[in-house]
Structure 1
Amino acid sequence: MNLKRHPLLLLALLCFSVNSQNTHPQVLIQSNKVISNEFIGIGFEFSAYPHADAENAEWGKLMTDEKWEEVFERVSFIKPKIVRVIDQANWRYLKGFDNKGNPLIDFESEQMQALYKLLDYCQENKIIVILGEWGQPYKVHDTHLNLQNSFTGANDPKWINLIIKNLKHLILDKKYTCIKYYNLVNEPNGYWATTDGDWDQWKQGASMLNLAIKNAGLATNVALIGPDSTPYDNPKSKYKGLDWARQAVLQIPDLISAYDVHDYPSKESIRVGEFQKTYTNLIKYADSLERKPFILGELGITGPSSSKKNIGDKYSSKDSQLSVYDYDYGVDMADALIQSLNSGFDAVIAWDLDDAMHTLDDKGDKFQLKRWGMFNILGEELTGKKEDSDLRPWFYTWSIICRYFEKDMKIVKIENLNIEKVRAAAGISPSGDITIAIVNNSNKDANFNLNIKDFQKEKIVKKYLFSENNRIVNEKGFPIPQKDKTTISNQKSIKVAIPAKSVILYTSYN
């Protein structure tokens, strides 16, 4: 048809084209409306491979220098800003007791050398470390020494003194300035913790440790983080679930320099956005009394795997998430991370980096791996499957968001994004660099225009796309951006077309 002969039809088509563009929602990045001014960054649980760190470890010294370099190469792509290194005295430096009951300490052990290798990397790369111990030594299962019940709890002066000796060695002797926080007992409100939900015991231990840190002259180097609790309601505990965090804010703000909690929400709660609402309220409550960093110290997602891959794998413990092999776990973890940033968390730490770091109850049974990782660096050695060491889909989304949300950024508000199951987070640096992460966790493609207000720079942004049929990686499996770039400024919006069940990241960082 010759449209020149039908001017009214031509006009109608032009109007339809303009109107169809204008019907796309106008989403606004409010660069002056700040969610987090204390943003620290994103990272993961990073353990020094307690079952493979020494000749007398359960698996022998499988973590050779070459294996460590493989891990560090992958970590260097992720560029974590903060990691959580939780350990156990009897895995590293506590070797028993003499006949007078004094602890036998060895800071030169093979196990300590593995920890130094990890901390050396963090020191060199300016990564903040949360150091800590899972619980009192020997109350958990120990395969090296038979010295159960050597300590009476988190408030045992013997354990507090032992922690101080270790901190003085690491901070004063070894000069690890990367260690900024100390975590006394993992998830102390849980029945699985050595405190078994005993708030008073944990609170007294935190008070004793805080005073001991000051008396040792370490207060300018390291501070306590807590309560490290979960939403679990322990019937033995005087406080339930999130009330542990609220009580920490109310009762012991002078003991703690940063608050932290853990959560493993369901896939459904992530997909409908419940997670963000829960923690927005909690963090607002804490900030209303005294503003200090609030950290999500462990994040993983529960729910069944969407595929049959690795289900029934004889190497997986019951404490595993086999969805790590699935494409959609990459979408869900990105969604959870975006909601975490928008709720006000100043740092978010994933559980965890590598399957080879932990086993069920940390007994070292290779048939009881905790499969939550982005890979298993000892896949061939432990399972006979070299492909088990390959990067899994969620490495893609976690790494690009972690890499490009820098620690000097302000996390800012995004308004008018009212498309169901589509969410976004944005960070802006003092130099004017910008990173925007967008997730579409629905089953429909979504389109909108992304505008930025009060942004004085014009920035060229590159785009990463994580979709089931289009996610570009290099020969090592690391994400690389799409070929197309765009410009963002006060005057120019980004036309976002995000496929169903996918993630897009825009960043101006080179």
Structure 2
Amino acid sequence: MKRFAILSVFFLWGGYAASQTVVSVDAKQIINEGYIGNGAQWDPYQLDYGKGRLDISEADWKKMYDRLDFMRPQFIRVMTNTTSVMQDGVLYPERGLEHLSHILDYCQSRDVTVMFGDWGGGMVDVRKEVIREKNLSAAAEYVRFLIEEKGYSCIKYYNLVNEPNGYWSSTDGKYSLWARAICFFYGELQKNKLAGKLSVVGPDAAIWTADEAWWVDSCATHLKDEIGLYDIHTYPSKITVNSGEYTDIIRAYKQAVPAGRKIVMGEIGFKFVEPADSVYQRENLRRAAAKPYASMDDSQMFVYDFMYGTDMADALFQTVNAGYSGSVVWMLDDAMHAKEAPDKLKVWGFWNIFGEEYFGTEEEEVRPWFYAWSLLTRYMPAGSRAYKVEVEGDKSLKAIAVEKDGKYMIAVVNVSREEKSVLLKSTSLPVLKGVKQYLYAEGRLQKEGDCRLLPHRQGVTLCPAKGEAFQMPGESLVVYTNFDY
């Protein structure tokens, strides 16, 4: 674990003295240029939950579109199985398109960058350790069809085989098998004249420590032409992130990326895997057991708690400050995936769009962490740059500062349960006028309608050179921004 210096500054606020944490922004030091964006995993839905097929109504598609319009995602990951649109070895690319098109139409119309891909089933034969060239060719043809014939130019990246380093993956952790599939697939993209339009993503490894960084090293050595964007998946424990140890882990992967290439977080969520988080894990399992449609094996039941929003902000801030260029949360909607049985869902989402129809009306409501993630997606647009931020004081506070076209977003998160006093300062930021201040904290949200979060304060003039002092409730996120939307 990292050790943090404590700056013991005391000041009078509201009639009492409190220890103050100083957040300093250095706008002369850019640590992250050309940010791709933040967003969520949004896959085609399962639709059959054991009692016949359901269909998403136009009203529910509109509801999701409206919610996403508040979030303004910049980066969406969409995964499918090419073999599901094949029959007897023949590709039928129109199959299921009436469903997939709702997702891609949204991304195309809102200029959202899409990381499309295949989960990996059928792409390799792991027992014989051979690649399945016919299916790989079909995958390349399928994405060509979507881009060239259907006009989905929003698809910029392709993710072949989910988490290939895992025993649960179709490659069973075999790097050489996965690398051969990547090489063949890249060749098929070249044949389809897509190599200049579509970049392959890798290694897409799921990691918990720095030990798997050799996958990135190997890609940089053996697949330097094929891999256009690097990515990893992380499901850290709460203690790993809140302590700051997470930064050291993910930085090992960033440092292995070749110069001139970017790395993103292709999936991110929390799992309580460390002994220090055993109390949370027991509660997680208790809640899953109590909910009829929750998978006991793969659910994050704290998505109903405000804590999950601040923990996700903490993880994102460390990811941004470590030099990553985007983050995709797992996941948008519970209704997308089941685990042990058709009606045992992976509960990880911002909502369940079939709540009213099937799973319980309350499940369709927006969950708290949607608002925290939305602020950090909405006000971190594609093309942003991130500045260096130092936090001197309480280690439970983290911060980021981003800018695009002269507009700024400065965000601070408090993952402790206690109120904290913060001083935001900078000698290199200009005076910011017309600033909105958002506050994400339990019992403090100011909402409008189904999904819109309203500013806590508006028309604020921020004078960083003089310093801006403010209080942060326990488990809260404060966002200052002068983006004019």
Calculate the TM-score normalised by the size of structure 2: 0.89
Write out per-residue CA displacement over residues 289-312 of structure 1, whole angstroms, 9 at most, x where no aligned residue: 423110100000012366865642
Matching of residue 78 in structure 1 with residue 56 in structure 2:
no
2:93 matched residue in structure 1: 107
Matching of residue 219 in structure 1 with residue 195 in structure 2:
yes
Matching of residue 324 in structure 1 with residue 293 in structure 2:
no
- Secondary structure of 1:395's counterpart equals helix
Matched length: 464
2:328 matched residue in structure 1: 349
Shift of 1:339: 1.4
Give the aligned residue type for 1:400: L
Q: Distance in 1 between matches of 2:427 and 2:338?
A: 49
Question: Map of 1:58-457 to 2, 5 A cutoff?
Answer: 59-91=52-84, 93-94=85-86, 96-97=87-88, 103-109=89-95, 111-137=96-122, 155-231=131-207, 241-286=212-257, 289-303=258-272, 304=280, 311-317=289-295, 318-360=297-339, 365-366=342-343, 368-383=344-359, 385-429=360-404, 431-456=405-430
2:6 matched residue in structure 1: none
Residue range with higher mean Cα deviation, 322-331 or 76-85: 322-331
Give the aligned residue type for 1:225: V
Do the aligned partners of residues 138 and 183 (structure 1) sit closer, same or farther apart at CA in structure 2, a change above 3 Å counting? closer
Q: Distance in 1 between matches of 2:382 and 2:145?
A: 28
Write out per-residue CA displacement over residues 407-449 of structure 1, whole angstroms, 9 at most, x where no aligned residue: 12101111243322100011011x2111012111123322232
Write out per-residue CA displacement over residues 54-80 of structure 1, whole angstroms, 9 at most, x where no aligned residue: xxx974142122221121111111110
Higher strand share: 2
Structure 2 portions without partners, runs of 5+: 1-10, 273-279
Write out per-residue CA displacement over residues 100-135 of structure 1, whole angstroms, 9 at most, x where no aligned residue: xxx2332333x1211112111100100000010111
Q: Distance in 2 between matches of 1:502 and 1:456?
A: 26
Contact 1:316 1:370 in 2 (8 A): yes
Q: Distance in 2 between matches of 1:16 and 1:494?
A: 14
Contact 2:111 2:154 in 1 (8 A): yes
- Secondary structure of 1:397's counterpart equals helix
Q: Distance in 2 between matches of 1:75 and 1:479?
A: 13
Contact 1:38 1:293 in 2 (8 A): no
Matching of residue 43 in structure 1 with residue 1 in structure 2:
no
Contact 1:131 1:179 in 2 (8 A): yes
Q: Distance in 1 between matches of 2:467 and 2:118?
A: 48
2:8 matched residue in structure 1: none
Contact 2:435 2:458 in 1 (8 A): no
Give the aligned residue type for 2:481: T
Shift of 1:485: 4.2
Q: Distance in 2 between matches of 1:459 and 1:52?
A: 51
Shift of 1:152: 7.0
Q: Distance in 2 between matches of 1:73 and 1:125?
A: 12
Give the aligned residue type for 1:297: G
Shift of 1:138: 9.0
Calculate the TM-score normalised by the size of structure 1: 0.85
Q: Distance in 2 between matches of 1:59 and 1:71?
A: 23
Contact 2:391 2:399 in 1 (8 A): no
Contact 1:294 1:345 in 2 (8 A): yes
2:5 matched residue in structure 1: none
Contact 2:123 2:181 in 1 (8 A): no
Shift of 1:348: 0.3
Give the aligned residue type for 1:313: K
Do the aligned partners of residues 58 and 177 (structure 1) sit closer, same or farther apart at CA in structure 2, a change above 3 Å counting? farther
Give the aligned residue type for 1:293: K
Q: Distance in 1 between matches of 2:136 and 2:48?
A: 28
Shift of 1:280: 2.3
Write out per-residue CA displacement over residues 186-230 of structure 1, whole angstroms, 9 at most, x where no aligned residue: 001111111101111100111111122112111121110001001
1:6 matched residue in structure 2: none
Do the aligned partners of residues 67 and 26 (structure 1) sit closer, same or farther apart at CA in structure 2, a change above 3 Å counting? closer
Q: Distance in 2 between matches of 1:277 and 1:463?
A: 31
Give the aligned residue type for 2:61: W
Moved over 6 A (4+): 20-23, 149-154
Write out per-residue CA displacement over residues 328-347 of structure 1, whole angstroms, 9 at most, x where no aligned residue: 11211111111111111100
Q: Distance in 1 between matches of 2:130 and 2:203?
A: 13
Shift of 1:26: 4.1
Shift of 1:34: 1.2
Shift of 1:22: 11
Do the aligned partners of residues 69 and 59 (structure 1) sit closer, same or farther apart at CA in structure 2, a change above 3 Å counting? farther
Do the aligned partners of residues 25 and 273 (structure 1) sit closer, same or farther apart at CA in structure 2, a change above 3 Å counting? closer
Give the aligned residue type for 1:36: N
Shift of 1:150: 12
Shift of 1:240: 5.6
Give the aligned residue type for 1:372: W
Give the aligned residue type for 1:335: D
